[in-house]
Structure 1
């Protein structure tokens, strides 16, 4: 929620990139960030 609030006004492609980076560190965290941002992100391409 803090991350989502801090990213208010940021373009969606940057929000998605951030969520994917978070997912690389911890999948549950990345999914939580995406949910807090209100985004439906496909993480299948994240390595």
Structure 2
């Protein structure tokens, strides 16, 4: 995040840290999807045991 913030600041963006943190949003969405998929899989494995 720091490198992205520095890169954005060097290009004149006033809210570079905020924009750099926004770049993490897709990764949070991917993590949520993976956790939900894992929960579903574990629930199925529990049902078969």
Higher RCO by CA contacts (8 Å cutoff, separation 6 or greater): 1
| Structure richer in helix, relative to its length | 2
Q: Which has the larger radius of gyration?
A: 2
